[in-house]
Structure 1
Amino acid sequence: MPTAKHRSLWLQEAGTGPATDRLVGNRTTDIAIIGGGYVGLWTALRIKAVDPGVDVTVLEADVCGGGASGRNGGFVLSWWPKFSSLVALFGKEEALRLARASEDAIDEIGDFCRAHAPEAEFRRSGWLWTATAPAHDDSWRDVVRLADDAQPGAFRPLTPAEVARQSGSPTHLSGVLEASGAIVHPGHLVRAMRERALELGVTIHENTKVRKLGRRGRPVVRTDQGSVTAEKVVVATNAWAAGLRELHTRLFVISSDIVATAPIPDELDEIGWREGPAITDSQTLVCYYRTTESGRVVFGKGGWAIGIGGYLPPAMERHSGRAGMVTRDFHRYYPMLRQAPITHDWAGPIDRTYNSLPIIDWLNREKTIAVGVGWSGNGVGPSVVGGKMLASMVLGRDDEWSNAGLVSAPAKHFPPDPIRYVGAHLVREAIVRKERAEALGIEPGRISTALSALAPSGLEDKA
């Protein structure tokens, strides 16, 4: 890959090399996995844990972690914020099982980091869901009510004073705490997963872009300089799966942008946020932010650049103008930290589904190609669960994971492009107008409110 490729803070700190050899020539394997991020690697590790003799080959267009797995905010969250959606789709019993499985996944990531990635800075300090404008107060009402009915204490209500104290800023007006949430250094985690997969005998070909995927008979994965014929294939390419015709109306791609400050541990100690929880607000164009072990603030905002079909514009990699917008939001929430230098900024595409739950499904009737995509900005923790489902599917196991509600779940579709592309811009602009008005305490216009309601469900199931 070009040496000038822009990298996130995480990958600059964790490193990206030396890369494994790119695929050259033709080979066969039991299971081929397209994508060397969290989903692909957790699937590979799970397969090896269940049946060490299975030959697994991972094909990665960049380096492992070069996509979303090395660019995210490092939030390790459960599916509790999506409990309303889970109940609506699968009923209370299966929703509870999936929510608890996603909690267990956070434990598993913590165990993995202690064993294989102590430098990944895993810290279980909870996740704080906040309102930063009066219009967003009690956004969590419905999901908290449902969650408390199923598992009392899943969320802990906080007083406004507690929210301000735990977030380090009085701009946070109210909120609830979900205690199972954690944070991690995404770069060190994904690179450690890569090394562990190699240790277990997984073959990884980096810098190997897949050009064609044969659907009939034994799947054949064709690359620039070779091919892999497999018994089963797993597609785990995140946003890059939007170009597959079978997924065209089930996914749309939108960017998320992140900035990071220089280390400011003394300033964070002063406001009480040095080791505080990970935080999100309740905007549709959500802001999410956390601190690092070195005392940086990492602050992100989702929802600006929009993809069309499988085309992801270069602006999804990095955009200085959007980084400036994110910085202004950071200063709005933490005006006392305005003097902290912004040392890093980066961006990346997010594969959104209509309900923000992932697509775990078969791509073809023969059930030889499985897909695990559509993580919608919350894939770090749930990818462990998805890896178990995908592994059971391609290994032909009849167990709790292959029979989980999310496997081949019904999904609402988006309109096809270019209708979706044009409509997404109209909805985004309406959301921007609505949320700017709300931030100023002004009643948003009726047209902006009506158009904003057309946006798909976000990271949280808001009331």
Structure 2
Amino acid sequence: MDVTAALADASTVPFWLDSDQRPEPLPPLTRDLEADLVIVGGGFTGLWTALQAKERDPGRHVVLVEANSIGWAASGRNGGFCAASLTHGYENGESHLPAENERLAQLGLDNLNEIEAAVTRYGMDVEFERTGELDVATEDYQVPELREAHDPEAGFIFYDQQELAQIVKSPTYKGALWDSREVAMVNPAKLCWELLRVIRELGVEVFEGTKVTDVSDRKTNVQITTLVTSQALEDCASAPCSIITAKRVALATNVFPSLLKRVSLHTVPVYDYALMTEPLSDEQLTSIGWDGRQGIGDCASRFHYYRLSADNRILFGGWDAVYHYGRQVSWKYDQRAETFETLAAHFYETFPQLQGVKFTHKWGGPIDTCSRFFSFFTTAYGKKVAMAAGFTGLGVGASRFAGTVMLDLLSGQDTELTQLEMVRKLPLPFPPEPVAWLGIQMTTNALIKADGNEGRRGPLLKALDAVGMGFDS
């Protein structure tokens, strides 16, 4: 099918957010107040932090402020792959934190189990499906590594080309490894909205349209300056600014500029894109199989990820990861026609039996990327402020763990988590411009070249590996 025609009527609103279940906007903060804990950011990290804070101490006065609306940024735009891994894959963890990688793997699995338990405990309607993920080889050279990882007792099951054809039918597949236990599928926007419902029921005060402009130390507490954003000014033009006095603050702003300047170079925003098809008919579903409804990702450095929605659409994303000079984050980058056309063409190559299927949604958004490709943590003002960022696209699950870590850090107590090297050690910062832009472009080109050379990494990628900034998806 012609990709232009297939994309012609696609909405530019992210599919998950294009729902009549989206909550009505909450009012902004228009008064000064005091709180035990203030959480800045209404995505997964902030929401999970708020929930756990109230579970630990139901009497704690917790306030969450969000500059836009709950879940509108990366948390409501992603593919909904809720993975156990805290380190963007075991191999990446082994490269960066070999001494504690095994423990981090177990902590990640425990964290995923806790997410599932919370979904059940609070009756959250988030389309949670613990189906696992298929890592598929689309080139012959990728097959041996997947075969070597076969370990049924640990939940990793290898399928050769013939076996895989009985599970998901694509002429591009050479084999796959099914990670059967460590990935669940969720509707990410519903997860945000259900977490919002639960924390409000537990007594958390939530303010949307409220941007934090400054966080400063005031000896025994922290002063937070907020500004009502333009979207909400119609209702509160008489009082657009407020001061919050807080005993503790958790910063969960992720891809957006850090309120702690000393880590402002530790993340860069990289834009990712996705398409969503119209719902598949029974005949179309039969033509591809996929009865197990696993998430799927291929093994290339420039990879695709895709999954089925609850109403049997296919989300198909990935491939391009676009960095804009100067660490720019802007709504104007959420749409990229050339990437959508590429993704659509790749979709039909993957599933030629779905040639007649059209796309109903096309969208993008920024990912907070750090040089080790998984989250980092820091504190400020005598540990009255904690921050987490750098999830690099794996935050759906790891964000809850980040909330756990931040609460431990803010408690002032030494815990197993606060003593982890992962928590104590910052990744290397990215250089300032123009070196950052040049380096990212060179690295992207090197990854493309490696994909075309059977995965063999050239001098630049080997050098990045040596200094702790390498990554192999």
1:46-445 mapped onto 2 (5 Å cutoff): 46-79=52-85, 82-91=89-98, 94-116=100-122, 118-139=124-145, 144=149, 153-180=154-181, 181-215=183-217, 217=219, 218-224=221-227, 225-241=241-257, 244-266=260-282, 267-362=284-379, 364=380, 366-432=382-448, 435=451, 437=452
- How far 1:422 sits from its partner (Å)? 2.4
Distance 1:118 1:39, change over 3 A: closer
Aligned partners of 1:355, 1:252: CA distance in 2, in Å?
12
**1:293-345, CA deviations, whole angstroms, 9 ceiling, x for partnerless residues?**
21100011154321445521334322233222221221222222121110011
Would you say the 8 A contact 1:389–1:404 is kept in 2? no
The C-alpha deviation readout for 1:188-231, integer Å capped at 9, x for no partner, is 11100001010111111111122222256432222222122212
Per the normalisation by structure 1, the TM-score is: 0.87
CA distance in 1, matches of 2:155, 2:217: 43
Query: 2 CA distance for matches of 1:19 and 1:139?
Result: 48
Please give the alpha-carbon distance, in whole angstroms, between the structure 2 residues aligned to 1:460 and 1:105. 23
**Partners of 1:255 and 1:305 within 8 A in 2:** yes
Mapped contact 2:132–2:184 kept (Cα < 8 A): yes
- Aligned partner of 2:30 among 12, 24, 28: 24
Counterpart in 1 of 2:237? none
Cα distance in 2 for partners of 1:98, 1:412 equals: 20
Deviations 1:166-194 (A, max 9, x none): 33313121221111211011111110000
C-alpha spacing 1:454/1:208, structure 2 compared with 1 (3 Å): farther
Q: Say if 1:14 and 1:275 are closer, same or farther in 2 by CA, change over 3 A.
A: farther
> Per-residue deviation at 1:123?
0.8
* CA distance in structure 1 between the aligned counterparts of 2:61 and 2:443, rounded to whole angstroms: 46
- Structure 2 residue runs of 5 or longer lacking an equivalent are 1-10, 228-240
Q: After the TM superposition, which of the residue ranges 399-408 and 133-142 deviates more from structure 2?
A: 133-142
Q: Per-residue deviation at 1:36?
A: 0.7
Paired with 1:459 and 1:191, the residues of 2 have a C-alpha distance of 35
Once the two structures are overlaid, the 10-residue window that deviates more, 322-331 or 236-245, is 236-245
The TM-score, its normalising length taken from structure 2, stands at: 0.85
2-structure distance, mates of 1:83, 1:414:
23
Aligned-partner Cα distance in 2 for 1:248–1:381: 24
How far, CA to CA, are the matches of 2:332 and 2:136 in structure 1?
29
Q: Judging changes above 3 Å, is the alpha-carbon distance between structure 1 residues 167 and 314 closer, same or farther for their aligned structure 2 residues?
A: same
Unaligned runs of 5+ in 1: none
TM-superposed CA distance for 1:122, in Å, is: 0.9
SS in structure 1 opposite 2:431?
A: coil
| Contact 1:167 1:279 survives alignment (8 Å) | no
SS at match of 1:406: helix
Residues 1:15 and 1:6: Cα distance change in structure 2 (over 3 Å): farther
Over the aligned positions, Cα root-mean-square deviation in angstroms equals 2.9
User: What per-residue deviation string (whole Å, max 9, x for no partner) do you get for residues 54-97 of structure 1?
Assistant: 111111111111111111100011218622333444445x3223
Preserved CA contact (<8 Å) 2:131 2:180? yes
Q: Which of 14, 26, 41 is 1:8 aligned to?
A: 14
Query: How far has the Cα of 1:408 moved from its partner?
Result: 1.9
What is the rounded CA distance, in whole Å, between the counterparts of 2:471 and 2:197 in structure 1?
Answer: 33
CA separation in 2, counterparts of 1:373 and 1:383? 9
Change (3 A) 1:318 1:383: same
Which one-letter code corresponds to 1:400 in the other structure?
A: E
Separation in structure 2 between the aligned mates of residue 88 and residue 428 of structure 1, nearest angstrom: 20
Q: Is the 8 A contact 1:48 1:200 kept in 2?
A: yes
- Between the aligned partners of 2:147 and 2:471, the Cα distance in structure 1 is 11
Change (3 A) 1:177 1:454: farther
The CA deviation string for residues 115-150 of structure 1, in whole angstroms up to 9 with x for no partner, is: 4455321111111112212343345588x49xx6xx
Q: For this pair of structures, how many residues does the alignment match?
A: 444
Do the aligned partners of 1:238 and 1:351 also contact (CA within 8 Å) in 2? yes
Q: Could you tell me how far apart the structure 2 residues matched to 1:95 and 1:434 are? A: 26
Which range is displaced more, 108-117 or 27-36?
108-117
Tell me: CA distance 1:410–1:17, structure 2 relative to 1, closer, same or farther (3 Å): closer
Same amino acid, percent of matched pairs: 27
